[in-house]
Structure 1
Amino acid sequence: MDNSKLCDAHCHPHDDIENLDMLPNLKTGHITVMGVRQDDWDRVAEVTNACEPGRCVPSFGIHPWFLHRLMVDDDADPETHYDQVLTTKIASEKQDMIRALDPPFSRGEWVNNLKQRLVDYPQALVGEVGLDRAARLLPGGAIEWHGIKPTTVQTSIEHQMNVLRIQLLIAREFKRPVSVHCVQASGHLLQLLQELAPTKKKKETPPPLLRLCLHSFMGSAGSIPQFLKLKGYAIYVSFSVAICGRMDKKKLYDLMASIPEDRILIESDLNTPCGLDHAMEEITKWVGEARQWTIEKTIEQTYKNWRTFVGGIQK
């Protein structure tokens, strides 16, 4: 297997601080490194700067698990903001959460921070962004999810859509691709993308398509045409063993086979360099089996697709 042409369309290896020195030795040729909060963007930048040009593509965005910290209306005070965007049936849990959380970021602050990263890194994507109707906040607003029982407190889907709307508009302004997380919210995502679809008058040059990747997609094959026919977008679909491996194998293979040849991507979605090469080799095999492609065909096609998605990187 020619690992040098394997392209990980979505991963978080910078989370594993103790093993960052493994990154230069990965066999996987290219990695797309996803930022999820403002406080991990520096490490995304450091990892990118340490890689040879074109090998690591940075992505800066706010993941739906952390959107409660972002204000859309700067007229609200912090407590009012949290009261408006957090939901739960257990009032005491909500009040405990509000008291525990740090003050939110003003709209001007986080928007300017994101735009500055895109200025500093012309090759950067916007990501990881999206919608998640299943996610619940951890006690005290903690961010380390492993082994901790979540509360019943969630971020309202309305607030998630408001923040995603802003991030998508920034992506269109800077002409950057977007990596999207979507859990139990395909209908909401479709609605938002339709709302933001560009309109053009006759004789006007249409704006460039917004390239958007549905990462580790686990929706139904029947939902894919709805995304693909959206005007103003080039929709890609990416698969990982870590997440998509939870699906029934036949349903997953049917889903993989339903994606247009030039829109399928592969990823690890791992938060460590450990095992990343193996994860990429496995998902390559799965896609090849699902589409009845050889390993060589699978690598070449996903390599070509990834380069087109991220913006024509040649190496």
Structure 2
Amino acid sequence: MMKLFDAHCHLQDPRIINKTPELIKTAQDSGVLHFAVNGVSEQDWFSVKQLSVTYPSVLPSFGLHPWYVAERSPNWLKTLKEYFDSTPSAAVGEIGLDKGSQGKKIDFSQQVEVLRKQLELAKELNKPASVHCVRAYGDLLELMKSVGPFPAGVVLHSYLGSAEMVPEFSKLGAYFSFSGFLMSLKANKAKKMLKMVSSDRMLLETDAPDALPKSNIDSLFFVEGDTSLDNEVHGQTSTSSSTSDSSAANPSQVLTDASMLPKDTLNHPANIHNVLDYVASMLEITKEELAELSYQNAVRLFSYEGSKLLQK
């Protein structure tokens, strides 16, 4: 069985935290050995820590995501440092910059200030940092140049930046992680960008419960009890025989791929296989080759001092 490493997900998300045991077991049964679980605000850091205590496969990360910058407490940085003191196995994340529809609501200068402090902390602690970036890659590059380079690595999670910026980020210590969001890019743009990424800097992730791959429905894992899916969709996605029955009964209602599902349909961590398939096809290499190199890259990146990967 191929070994896979989910380099960025959110198993502490309130939408799925009660289903974490089943999600982890299903993903592990499919070959996913490790999950880098990223906190996003002071409110969920404890949940991430608890998951890492409960599950040997969970590697914790703590960070203040740009969407939650306005809600931070005056002591947020002190609290964050305390989490790292008490959890030596933790990496930094999710942190970043966002000028998208959600990010526009948050003062950008505050986003930059908060990100700078967390990048400096990651460098000081010699830990990798997982970075979110939406429509702000130029700003991110300048900030990383002013704080970096980053010998411990920076994960540009769900990377959708240009091919031209890949070498610039790489010089600073960046790794490029790909999720189902990659399928939203035009295929030629995705292929050009992927081919610029060095094989030793490529990672795969799910960003679960977000970023459901736009794959054929029959190839996807669904989160049991997902309220975004009505009964008819649940019936169709439960088994292939249900799909056949549904087709015969009402051909006009047949769902063939995930782009036809509600936008808030939850993503299962086992769907990293769909990301693997897509990226391998774009790179024109085998799934086995990509699984191996992305797994080894993630193990190397997350083998910092104190990491669970180094504990026996």
Q: TM-score, normalised by structure 2?
A: 0.74
What does residue range 253-268 of structure 1 map to in structure 2 within 5 Å? 253-268=191-206
2:7 corresponds to 1:9: yes
Aligned to 2:130: 179
Q: In the alignment, is the contact (CA less than 8 A) between 1:14 and 1:271 conserved in 2? A: no
Q: Give the C-alpha shift of residue 165 in structure 1.
A: 0.6
Equivalent residue number for residue 22 of structure 1: 22
List aligned pairs for 1:240-259, cutoff 5 A.
240-241=179-180, 243-259=181-197
Q: SS where residue 289 of structure 1 aligns?
A: helix
Structure 1 counterpart of 2:35: 31
DSSP 3-state at the match of 2:47? helix
Matched, 1:238 2:177: yes
User: How far did 1:113 drift?
Assistant: 0.9
Task: Give 2:187's aligned amino acid.
Answer: K
Residue in structure 1 matched with residue 155 of structure 2 by the alignment: 213
CA distance in 1, matches of 2:121, 2:63: 10
Q: Distance in 2 between matches of 1:258 and 1:49?
A: 38
- The 5 A counterparts of 1:1-315 are 1-2=1-2, 5-15=3-13, 16-25=16-25, 26-27=27-28, 28-52=32-56, 55-70=57-72, 105-106=73-74, 109-136=75-102, 154-197=105-148, 209-230=151-172, 234-241=173-180, 243-271=181-209, 274=223, 275-311=267-303, 313=309
Alpha-carbon distance in structure 2 between the residues aligned to 1:169 and 1:31: 24
Most deviating of 303-312 and 20-29: 20-29
Question: Aligned partners of 2:198 and 2:59: how far apart in 1?
Answer: 24
Q: Distance in 2 between matches of 1:295 and 1:228?
A: 24
Checking the alignment, whether the CA contact within 8 Å between 1:214 and 1:237 is kept in structure 2 is yes
Q: Would the aligned equivalents of 2:152 and 2:301 in 1 still touch at CA under 8 Å?
A: no
Tell me the amino acid that sits aligned with residue 122 of structure 2.
A
Alpha-carbon distance in 1 for matches of 2:102, 2:293: 37
Contact residue 65 and residue 135 of structure 1 kept, 8 A: no
2:176 aligned partner, one-letter code: V
| Superimposed CA distance per residue, residues 227-263 of structure 1 (whole angstroms, 9 cap, x where no aligned partner) | 1223xxx21000001x222111222122222100000
Query: How many angstroms apart in 1 are the aligned matches of 2:17 and 2:198?
Result: 37
Long gaps (5+) in structure 2: 211-221, 224-266
Q: Distance in 2 between matches of 1:217 and 1:65?
A: 18
Query: Compared with structure 1, are the counterparts of its residues 19 and 295 closer, same or farther at alpha carbon in structure 2 (3 Å cutoff)?
Result: same
Q: What's the offset of the Cα at 1:210?
A: 3.6
Q: Deviations over 1:104-131 (max 9, x none)?
A: x11xx11111111111221211100000
Structure 1 CA distance, aligned partners of 2:184 and 2:177? 15
The question of whether the paired residues in 1 share the 8 Å contact of 2:39 and 2:62 is answered with: yes
2:193 partner SS: helix
State how many pairs are aligned. 247
Q: Is the 8 A contact 2:177 2:203 kept in 1?
A: yes
Distance in 2 separating the partners of 1:10 and 1:186: 19
Query: How far apart are residue 24 of structure 1 and its match?
Result: 4.1
| Structure 1 residues 45 and 267: CA distance shift in structure 2, 3 A | same
Between 1:293-302 and 1:128-137, the stretch displaced more is 128-137
Shift, 1:292, TM fit: 2.1
Amino acid at match of 1:48: S
Question: Structure 2 CA distance, aligned partners of 1:48 and 1:253?
Answer: 35
TM-score (norm 1): 0.74
Q: Describe the superposition over 1:115-162 as per-residue Cα deviations: whole angstroms up to 9, x where unpaired.
A: 11111221211100000012437xxxxxxxxxxxxxxx6222211111
